[in-house]
Amino acid sequence: MLEKTDVVIIGAGPVGLFAVFELGLLNISAQLVDNLDKPGGQCAELYPDKPIYDIPSRVTISGQELTDDLLKQVEPFNPVYHLNQQVESISKTENGEWLVETSIKKKIQAKCIVIAAGAGSFVPRKPPIEGIEKFENQNVFYSIRNKSIFQEKRVLILGGGDSALDWTNELSKIAIISLMHRRKEFRAAPDSVSTMLELEKQRKVNFILGQIKNIEETTNNSIRVSYENENKIHDIEVDFLLPFFGLKMELGPIARWGLNLNNNLIKVDTEKFETSEPSIFAIGDINTYPGKLKLILSGFHEAALMAQECFKYCYPDKKNVFRYTTSSKELHKKLKV
Amino acid sequence: MAKIIVTDRNGNEKHILADENSTLMEIIRDAGLDIEAACGGCCACATCHVYVDLEWIDKLNKMDDDEESMLDQAFSVKKNSRLSCQINFTKKIDGIRLVLAPE
């Protein structure tokens, strides 16, 4: 199904969210695409509980509080969120608009694209093992869609965080589970840790101290995983390997869209924050210009100026009257106050 | 001036001038070496992972739980693994030797 909107915003971090607000004040509708399962970007994923001290007027605010407040602030504009997906490709339509296609084949048509992708999309951190790709989606999975494939199979889970522990506990009901971690301490929720240790006592989970070194193919579609512990190499044969080492950020498909880049950052002007491609904008940590500072507050400023220029693409025949939210009746109506 | 000695992923040794008000990550990053430091130094990723020369490891501030937990997301963690954003440079460690961990 084809969705239509004025602006597609790539990235639902703080700057992408505030862009919805600035666009909304100018009657410009927006839809956001993000690879995470929730809005908030790095603030929600990397440091939800850590304090930020340089948001104007907020003496201290956590990453999650900032996200929650921004979500509340943009609510009057009813933004549409397309989560768990990445923008794969963009192309021009016959009428000069953009057609954006995501990794799960969602199509969105828009007049402008705003790239607010921070340091890139969050993707699973993969163990640095040569040739691991050829086992991916056969023996190696970084996320689990259908757990029934593990029924009665030998599964090795790697990691010591919530994903590793939760899946260890869950899959121990149906599969033969080993959990490998570099130390016998875990940063997961205390409940999951005690459940796992109990399962280990009952011999329903086999805990292995070590770090993965290599993967080899064996007969009958299994794999042999070798690992190091105390400078000795051991191995274990399993049917499936599930590495859970958290997420990392990478620029991804944006690098292939022909925009002017500088060290994986998108070059923009400082009047409109437009890229080398007219009607594509870049704001927040992903852009670069002389004097750029990677601060959330710079991203907010960039969002406001970008919106002024988007107005010209979305309403070419209309005059944009600059108004303040404090005094404008019309803006109050939009903000539902 | 004080310095640190860093071996990059190609095995090249770099002598970098160091300033007391910086973390080791900042010194390495600002010298243009290939260290990702994705979170900017708030101990929320593990992309500034380094190995500290064994002669120097005991001269450093002890690792806290936060740092030890973040190292769980790194690979090839060794006894001398540290996150360089969590180590402040002081004159006490002038001349410290580090190796950038593989990505």
Which pLDDT does position B43 carry in this prediction? 87
Q: What is the pLDDT of residues A123-180, one digit of tens each?
A: 999 999 999 999 999 999 999 989 999 999 999 999 999 999 999 999 999 999 999 9
Encode pLDDT of B50-86 as tens digits: 999 999 999 998 999 999 999 999 999 999 999 999 9
**What was the pLDDT predicted at A276?**
96
Res. A72: pLDDT tops 90: yes
Test B72 with A181 for CB contact under 8 angstroms: yes
**Contact yes or no for A161 and B102 at CB 8 A:** no
Q: Does B42 sit within 8 Å of A249, measured CB to CB?
A: no
Domains of chain A are 2-123+248-335 (3.50.50.60), 126-245 (3.50.50.60)
- pLDDT score recorded for residue A194: 97
Tell me if chain A has a CB within 8 Å of the CB of B47: yes
Give the full edge-to-edge strand order of the sheet including A176-181. Answer: A205-209, A176-181, A154-158, A240-243
Q: Which chain B residues are within 8 Å of A42, Cβ to Cβ? A: 39
Per the CB < 8 Å rule, is B73 touching A249?
Answer: no
Q: Name the region of A192 (left: φ>0; alpha: ψ -120 to 50; beta: rest).
A: alpha
Domains, chain B: 3-100 (3.10.20.30)
Confidence check: pLDDT of A26 > 90:
yes
Per cent of chain A over pLDDT 90 is: 94
Q: Is pLDDT of B1 > 90?
A: no
CB contacts of B76 in chain A (<8 Å) are 128, 211
Q: pLDDT at residue B42 above 90?
A: no
CB burial readout A31-54, b (16+ within 10 A) else e:
bbbbbbebbbbbbbbbbbeeebee
Residues A190 and A261: their CA atoms lie apart, in Å, by 44
Predicted local confidence at residue B88, as pLDDT: 95
Which site among B43, B67, B72, B85 would you substitute to test the A interface, given the most A Cβ atoms closer than 10 Å to its Cβ?
B72
Q: Which residues in chain A have their CB less than 8 angstroms from residue B75's CB?
A: 127-128, 211-212, 245
Are A161 and B73 an interchain contact pair (Cβ–Cβ within 8 Å)?
yes
pLDDT of residue A195: 97
Q: Which of A178, A187, A182 is nearest to A157 (CA)?
A: A178
Interchain pair A119, B76: CB under 8 A: no
Mutate to test the interface with B, among A122, A181, A182 (most CBs of B within 10 A): A182
Report the share of chain B in percent with pLDDT over 90.
Answer: 83
Q: What is the mean pLDDT of the segment spanning A83-106?
A: 96
Q: Is the ipTM of this complex over 0.95?
A: no
Question: Is A47's CB within 8 Å of B42's CB?
Answer: yes
More confident residue, A229 or B1: A229
Please give the pLDDT value at position A269.
Answer: 98
Q: Is pLDDT above 90 for A220? A: no
3-state secondary structure of A320: coil
Q: Does A124 touch chain B (CB under 8 A)?
A: no
Which residue would you say has higher pLDDT here, A73 or A1? Answer: A73
CB contact set of A263 (below 8 Å; sequence gap of 6+) = A288
**Would an 8 Å CB–CB cutoff place B6 in contact with chain A?**
no
Q: Do A47 and B102 touch (CB under 8 A)?
A: no
Statement: residue B40 has pLDDT above 90: no
The pLDDT value given to residue B51: 98
Question: What's the pLDDT tens digit per position in A240-290?
Answer: 999 999 988 889 999 999 999 998 899 999 999 999 999 999 999 999 999
pLDDT at A302 exceeding the cut of 90: yes
What average pLDDT score do residues A20-43 get? 97
d(CA B77, CA A128): 12
Answer for the pair A188, A164: CB distance below 8 angstroms, yes or no.
Answer: yes
What is the reported pLDDT for B71?
Answer: 95
Region B9-22: mean pLDDT is: 94
Query: What does the buried/exposed string (b/e) look like for B43-77 if buried means 16 or more CB atoms within 10 Å of the residue's CB?
Result: bbbbbbbbbbeeebeeebeebeeebbbbbbbbbbb
